[in-house]
A and B are shown apart, each in its own frame.
Chain A
Amino acid sequence: MTIKVEIVHAPDLSTALKLPVFLERVPAGFPSPAGDYMEGKLDLNQHLVKHPAATFFVRVTGDSMIEKGIHSGDLLIVDKSLDPKDGSIVIVVLDGEHTVKQLEKRKGKLRLLPANKNYEPLEVSEPQSLEIWGVVTNVIHSL
């Protein structure tokens, strides 16, 4: 009992156009003074993620960055599209592992700094071969 099927082409609904909705009724009298100030809702994605294609979330383990407010278990927002500068908090690949450090770029020399007195800074002997995976832009810390 095979039934023939007509294929109906569907429109592309993958993009949404968001418009503000005014929920207040129009009263017979003065309009609500708030109506004029209607704005979109605040979107944390928009605030925290400038380059979605290049942004990754990374989980931290360890306490070597604690003085920068980065705790074990925190979530880092990492933007790979940004160029690392002196002072940037970065994800670097060390011994095949993703590691979070602060980058120090001075007089052509690179150092990777911890943010915890119990750890030592790391001199980068071959700056060319250092793989900087991405730049940390924000820390999300649950209280």
Chain B
Amino acid sequence: MPLFALVDCNNFYVSCERVFNPKLASKPVIVLGNNDGIVVARSNEAKALGIPMGVPAFKFQPLIRKHDVQVFSSNYALYGDMSQRVMETLQQFSPEVEVYSIDEAFLNLSGFTHTNLTDYSRTIRSTVRQWTGLPVSVGIAETKTLAKIANHVAKKADGVCDLSAWQDRDSLLAGVPVEEVWGIGPNHARRLKQHRITTALALRNADNQWIRKQMGVVGLRTVQELRGISCLPLEQCPPPKQGITCSRAFGRPVTTLAEMREAVAFYTARAAEKLRGEHLAASALTVLLTTNPFKDEPQYGNALTLRLPVATDATPELLRVALQGIEAIYRDEYRYKKAGVMLLGLVPVGKVQANLFDHADRERSKRLMRAVDSVNARDGADTVRFAASGLTQHWRTRFMKRSQAYTTRWDELITAKAS
């Protein structure tokens, strides 16, 4: 029998902050997304205060002040590092681990039937807790879709739930709203509800033909998974990287071409750095920009993809093309909210096909890029940058309340008192 565990970190971003800042224990804590706008993570205490997910934090300012809610900007360097630690720790519990998202992983436990799975789940939980300081919940079932549900149950109980040994599964599924079933999006949920399918149990008992007609093969797969028939195997190799993106909302609207050029240059430099980190070269590049669709003002958005004469990983070459592109799509008299750069057609550096008419001095540019990257890795991102990215950068995304890069920068490590 196939058997899957879903391991999910509880309130991941908040829990990461707590590992390094013990004063946050049992206090209400929230983490905000880009530009310190929207609530993206909450501690249980913050949930209890009624602060919802996905709302602008300023709407809850009085509540935040009254209850001394601790507010943090997203610290992606920290969360990314902690995520890797969790995933590495999980490797010892199964030969097959699928990293599903920054804070979730599926483990293949097929053939573990002789072990007491509840005990095993507790061991997973306490080991991750000890090794990383992060609390996780473990849900086990014979399909991934059911393991997701098991994980929800685990979160409400003591952190573990083995659904494969569950006695009265029907009444459990009857308590799960259909929109909470993995793979059921808002559109399907709406249509299902119109046909009085409101719970996971009702969906499980639905007619195959009807489901297939309404939701296609993918929908039928979900229903089969609810029945305990595994249709979604573990995906161990993430799909190969197809593109590298660097796009961010601005801290304030950008209204001049000069500033837009700076922003695009900055994003290009960042994307190029990532590209070199993966030993890849880009064959094409997309630039994009857009106004703020949530504002009642003239709207404009556009994107342009340009091919590079020869696949490259050199910032100056990518910059030239990106700036050419942004100038082509930039229009005056709009207030821009966001811009971005995508590098496409990625090929390993060693396999770049030369062009007969290519005259760039690639050896020299390679040495320059290596020097730039090593200075930036040593002394912090952006120590050396291309003048095109500007020197003031008023448009940069705001992260006013970001915690330290506790695990990725020498000058921001945690300190321990010896006194």
Q: Identify the A interface with B (CB < 8 A).
A: 1-14, 51-54, 56-66, 70, 72, 75-76, 80-81, 91, 93-94, 96-100, 114, 119, 131, 133
B278 x A119 contact (CB < 8 A):
no
Question: Can you list 8 contacts pairing A with B, beta carbon distance less than 8 Å?
Answer: A2-B304, A5-B284, A8-B283, A53-B85, A59-B416, A62-B417, A97-B23, A133-B22
A3 x B306 contact (CB < 8 A):
yes
When chains A and B are docked, how far (Å) is the Cα of A133 from the Cα of B306? 51
Residues in chain A near residue B200, CB distance under 8 A: none
How many residues of chain B are within 8 Å of chain A by beta carbon?
44
Q: Does B233 contact A (CB under 8 A)?
A: no
Give the distance to chain A from B192, nearest Cβ to Cβ, in Å. 34
B85 x A1 contact (CB < 8 A):
no
Give the distance to chain A from B112, nearest Cβ to Cβ, in Å. 22
Q: Does B25 contact A (CB under 8 A)?
A: yes
When chains A and B are docked, how far (Å) is the Cα of A119 from the Cα of B419? 8
Q: Does B365 contact A (CB under 8 A)?
A: no
Interface of B is mostly: mixed
Q: Does B414 contact A (CB under 8 A)?
A: yes
B416 x A99 contact (CB < 8 A):
yes
B132 x A53 contact (CB < 8 A):
yes
A58 x B414 contact (CB < 8 A):
yes
A98 x B133 contact (CB < 8 A):
no
When chains A and B are docked, how far (Å) is the Cα of A13 from the Cα of B269? 22
A10 x B241 contact (CB < 8 A):
yes
Residues in chain B near residue A65, CB distance under 8 A: 418
Q: Does B328 contact A (CB under 8 A)?
A: yes
Candidates A3, A59, A72; contact of B305 at CB < 8 Å: A3
B417 x A98 contact (CB < 8 A):
yes
Question: Which of B219-227, B339-347, B375-383 binds A?
Answer: B339-347
Q: Does B348 contact A (CB under 8 A)?
A: yes
Q: Does B384 contact A (CB under 8 A)?
A: no
When chains A and B are docked, how far (Å) is the Cα of A133 from the Cα of B419? 17
B417 x A99 contact (CB < 8 A):
yes
Give the distance to chain B from A16, nearest Cβ to Cβ, in Å. 10
Q: Which residue of A lies closest to B302 (CB)?
A: A2
Q: Which residue of B lies closest to A93 (CB)?
A: B22
When chains A and B are docked, how far (Å) is the Cα of A58 from the Cα of B242? 37
Give the distance to chain B from A17, nearest Cβ to Cβ, in Å. 14
* Given A3-B307, A10-B280, CB of A54 within 8 Å of CB of B417: no
Q: Does B118 contact A (CB under 8 A)?
A: no
A5 x B418 contact (CB < 8 A):
no
Render B232-243 as a binary contact track against A, CB cut-off 8 A, 1 for contact: 000001001111
Candidates B127, B240, B305; contact of A10 at CB < 8 Å: B240
Residues in chain B near residue A94, CB distance under 8 A: 417
A9 x B131 contact (CB < 8 A):
no
A10 x B306 contact (CB < 8 A):
no
B418 x A96 contact (CB < 8 A):
no
Give the distance to chain B from A48, nearest Cβ to Cβ, in Å. 15
Q: Does B415 contact A (CB under 8 A)?
A: yes
A56 x B414 contact (CB < 8 A):
yes
Residues in chain A near residue B242, CB distance under 8 A: 7, 9
Q: Does B207 contact A (CB under 8 A)?
A: no
When chains A and B are docked, how far (Å) is the Cα of A94 from the Cα of B85? 25
Q: Which residue of B lies closest to A3 (CB)?
A: B307
Q: Which residue of B lies closest to A96 (CB)?
A: B23
Candidates B131, B278, B307, B418; contact of A54 at CB < 8 Å: B131
Render B291-308 as a binary contact track against A, CB cut-off 8 A, 1 for contact: 000000000000011110
User: For residues 249 through 268 of chain B, which have their beta carbon under 8 Å from a beta carbon of chain A?
Assistant: none
A58 x B415 contact (CB < 8 A):
yes
Q: Which residue of A lies closest to B129 (CB)?
A: A80
Give the distance to chain B from A123, nearest Cβ to Cβ, in Å. 18
B278 x A13 contact (CB < 8 A):
yes
When chains A and B are docked, how far (Å) is the Cα of A18 from the Cα of B417? 40
Residues in chain B near residue A57, CB distance under 8 A: 407, 410, 413
Q: Which residue of A lies closest to B84 (CB)?
A: A53
Candidates A10, A63, A98; contact of B348 at CB < 8 Å: A10
Q: Does B279 contact A (CB under 8 A)?
A: yes
A56 x B416 contact (CB < 8 A):
no
Residues in chain A near residue B240, CB distance under 8 A: 9-12
Q: Which residue of B lies closest to A65 (CB)?
A: B418
When chains A and B are docked, how far (Å) is the Cα of A31 from the Cα of B130? 52
User: For residues 128 through 169 of chain B, which have their beta carbon under 8 Å from a beta carbon of chain A?
Assistant: 130-133
Q: Report, nearest first, the 10 A-B pairs whose CB atoms are least far apart.
A: A62-B419, A62-B418, A96-B23, A54-B131, A53-B88, A5-B284, A98-B416, A64-B418, A9-B240, A53-B85
* Given A3-B305, A52-B88, A96-B22, CB of A58 within 8 Å of CB of B413: yes
